[in-house]
Amino acid sequence: MTSGTPVEIVLHIITSPALMAGFACYGVNTLLLVLALRKGELSMTYPVISLTYVWVTILSVLIFHEQANAYKIVGLVIIVAGVAVLGRGGRS
């Protein structure tokens, strides 16, 4: 942690490149979400968005070497199965 006055600490935090990159990714994600919700069916879009949990878990294991226990794997399988079931039901 940087030592200094509270103002210096706050300035150091808000000028952090990692924080700005995170905000940029969040902004792009929000724009893409708005576009998806405008163009897609709401009943299909939100279940597909739930796949974010799957990707985060996979990337956490691959990048940060986190442990994937049986509960996480079962949860991911349930999410993927649910999205697949909804996807098959959404086809006309």
pLDDT digits (tens, 9 = 90+) for 36-52: 889 888 888 888 888 99
Residue 26 scores a pLDDT above 70: yes
**What's this model's pTM, rounded to 2 decimal places?**
0.66
Q: What is the pLDDT of residue 43?
A: 81
Comparison of pLDDT for 88 and 73, the residue scoring more: 73
Q: How confident is the model at residue 56 (pLDDT cuts 50, 70, 90)?
A: very high
How far is Cα 13 from Cα 68, in angstroms, rounded to an integer? 32
